[in-house]
Amino acid sequence: MSSGSHSVTLTTEEQAMLDGADGPAIAMCMRIIVGVARANGAEKLIEIESAHADGTLYHGEAGLDFTEKLVALGGKVKVKTTTNVGSLDLLHPDLVHGDETLMSHGRRLMDAHIALGCEPTWSCAPYQAGHRPAFGSHVAWAESNAIAFVNSVLGARSDRYGDFLDLSAAVTGRVPFGGLHHDEARKAVLVLDFSEIDSKVFSEDAAWAALGVLLGNRAGTRVAAMVGLPGDLSDGGVTEDRLKGMGATSASAGGVGLFHVVGVTPEAPTLEVIVAPNAEYLKMTATDVREARDSLSTTSSDKLDAVSLGTPHFSVDEFRALSEVIGDGPKFADQIDFYISTSRDVMARSKELGYLDVFLNNGGRVVTDTCTYVTPVLNRNVRNVMTNSGKWAWYAPGNLGIDTVLGSLSECVASARAGKVVRDESLWA
Amino acid sequence: MGIKMATVLSGKVSHPGTADGEVLLLTEPVSFWGGVDHHGEIIDVHHAQHKAKMTNKVLVMPSGRGSSSATAVLAELIRTGDGPLAIVMLQCDTILVIGALVSAEIYGISLPIVELEQAEYDQLSDGMHVTVDAISDHDIATITI
């Protein structure tokens, strides 16, 4: 049976894979890759250097059936493949209180990925847990924030892939040559100009969450170039973590797979080299940023039950910054649950460096392998939660039925100590 | 009472299959992850067709939207029978095609996905009965209204 209105040119090796020469798992994955290539108009396939698999979070039996079928057919990943968050915290099993199906099927889904040869990274920020593809290399990454980061901050090339295609790419080592793998598709068709805004506004992490909302709303799935923003990717992680937060929020509020920050990200040393002809130009104001910030808070109450950081997963640099903000100050208030989601890799390194214990000794709790907005971690009585993460603030009200307050890292710590929301409006003037 | 003449619209096969049913026309795209529940109901409160049910309908919408996990949610809806009978779009969404490809592989259920040009798309209306034939030697899908 044929599908699509054009044919995809395969190499002799790829045709053999499709015909079953390398076994039924590779043949099935090849049918999926070729099916997508036909539907989206790709003329050929290209080889990839790595993959990041997003199908680790349990959404129902279909995902489990597919992954276990690949295992049963003898499937193995051909390239380095890291895993996204799962539905369980395997290191702290008591933290997640899901129902029996979620716990048992969630575990089987994670086990099936390991059986396929994936690495047990269990992180939505694999790029800060030892998986950093080289500039210009082709990869197949799923998980929207990781796609935005690998394209924008590292300059590697991935189209916006979803569950199933990520594993199919990992097993075949191929993706359709389409979308963001092409030079032309990486040019900015939209320019967002922030140069008239006082740069003081951008000195707080929460401002970058607000920038993510603006970027997502204005760009949708288009590639945008942002001018007039500060940053230096060799500043010890500050800029990298800001772009991580902004990209994650933009991929939630819109469908951003690639953005450029002129003078900061690797493909945009100047606007001229990255802008497409006839790009749309928008001048942004401080009011735009403030309104975007406000859209990430669903309550103006100062009541607070919990604080959640680490969406995407906290980095070692963020643990260091947090330990500096905490310093020798008072412990978190007893009634506040303070969670940080991170990878097991970052947790181990932060412990070694002494940053982790500063947080734990003040009454904080660390969640690994999963995240507080995708699986039941928060206490059932929790209503109001503060976060510095735009992505968490975007999804948690719908997923968890709670109210959110967006704040900076220092505001989150001050609020956790006070037992109520403490904000410093002068940061946003 | 005159005789109603059938009109045949032609489009592109994004995923093969056949279907026969009533159109659910969405005026904006919906994200399957976070926007549609496990019973096929639209739960995105911001959506113009909030609470509409796509089960056993020919889902017509301009394009796809949102999370990459929509693949898994669509595949699950197809598996349980709570999903649409076919999807018709102006702009083909790769994410949804992946969900259909995987459902065909593991459950042998082939959900047709068809891409139409604007002029053909505009002839579809909510509640209309249509027959979708996306199995063809010429890669042309037909929708009979």
Q: What pLDDT, in 10s, does the model give residues B72-102? A: 999 999 999 999 999 999 988 888 999 999 9
Query: How is chain B split into domains, by residue range?
Result: 8-144
Please state, for a pLDDT cut of 90, what percent of chain A lies above it: 86
In this structure, the answer to whether residues A212 and A243 fall within a common structural domain is yes
Residue B3 predicted with pLDDT over 70: no
From the list A313, A255, A258, the residue with the least C-alpha distance to A121 is A313
Using the structure block, give the residue that is written with the tokens 């209105």.
A5
Q: What token pair was written down for A88?
A: 């369980």
In this structure, the answer to whether residues A166 and A199 fall within a common structural domain is no
Q: What pLDDT, in 10s, does the model give residues A135-178? A: 999 999 999 999 999 999 999 999 988 899 999 999 999 999 99
In this structure, the answer to whether residues A16 and A89 fall within a common structural domain is yes
A chain contacts of residue B76, beta-carbon cutoff 8 Å: 59-63
Q: Which amino acid is at B145?
A: I
User: Is A351 part of any domain?
Assistant: yes
Q: What is the DSSP string of B28-42?
A: S---HHHHB-TTSBB
User: Is A6 part of any domain?
Assistant: no
Q: Which of A293, A313, A339 is the last residue of a domain?
A: A293
Asked whether the beta carbons of residue B66 and residue A255 sit closer than 8 angstroms, the reply is: yes
In this structure, the answer to whether residues A367 and A275 fall within a common structural domain is no
User: Is A207 part of any domain?
Assistant: yes
The tally of domains found in chain A comes to 3
User: Is A4 part of any domain?
Assistant: no
In this structure, the answer to whether residues A144 and A246 fall within a common structural domain is no
Residue A119 predicted with pLDDT over 90: yes
Per-residue pLDDT band for B124 (boundaries 50, 70, 90) equals: very high
Q: What pLDDT, in 10s, does the model give residues A34-81? A: 999 998 889 999 999 999 999 999 999 999 999 999 999 999 999 999
B interface residues, A as partner, C-beta within 8 Å: 12-16, 33-34, 38, 65-73, 75-76, 78-80, 92, 94-95, 97-99, 101-103, 105-107, 113, 134-135, 137, 139-140
In this structure, the answer to whether residues A355 and A210 fall within a common structural domain is no
Asked whether the beta carbons of residue A162 and residue B34 sit closer than 8 angstroms, the reply is: no
Known catalytic membership, residue B67: yes
Q: Which of A293, A310, A331 is the last residue of a domain?
A: A293
User: Is A428 part of any domain?
Assistant: no
In this structure, the answer to whether residues A39 and A125 fall within a common structural domain is yes
Asked whether the beta carbons of residue A143 and residue B68 sit closer than 8 angstroms, the reply is: yes
CATH number of the domain at A157, please: 3.30.499
Please state, for a pLDDT cut of 90, what percent of chain B lies above it: 74
Look up the CATH superfamily of B8-144: Phosphohistidine domain (3.50.30.10)
In this structure, the answer to whether residues A344 and A404 fall within a common structural domain is yes
Residue A12: Cβ-neighbour burial (10 angstroms; 0-12, 13-18, 19+) = exposed
Q: Which of A262, A293, A324 is the last residue of a domain?
A: A293
Q: What pLDDT, in 10s, does the model give residues A205-229? A: 889 999 999 999 999 889 999 999 9
Q: What pLDDT, in 10s, does the model give residues A378-398? A: 988 999 999 999 999 998 887
In this structure, the answer to whether residues A246 and A302 fall within a common structural domain is no
The count of other CB atoms within 10 Å of the CB of residue B40 is 21
In this structure, the answer to whether residues A61 and A127 fall within a common structural domain is yes
Contact A363, A332 (CB under 8 A): yes
Contact A232, A264 (CB under 8 A): yes
In this structure, the answer to whether residues A278 and A249 fall within a common structural domain is yes
Using the structure block, give the residue that is written with the tokens 């002129």.
A262
In this structure, the answer to whether residues A266 and A303 fall within a common structural domain is no
Q: Which of B14, B67, B68, B136 is catalytic?
A: B67
User: Is A83 part of any domain?
Assistant: yes
Domain that holds residue A283: 187-293
Element (H, E) at B87: strand B86-89
Counting Cα atoms < 13 Å in the Cβ hemisphere of A291 gives 8
Contact A45, A175 (CB under 8 A): yes
Per-residue pLDDT band for A4 (boundaries 50, 70, 90) equals: very low
Overall pTM > 0.80? yes
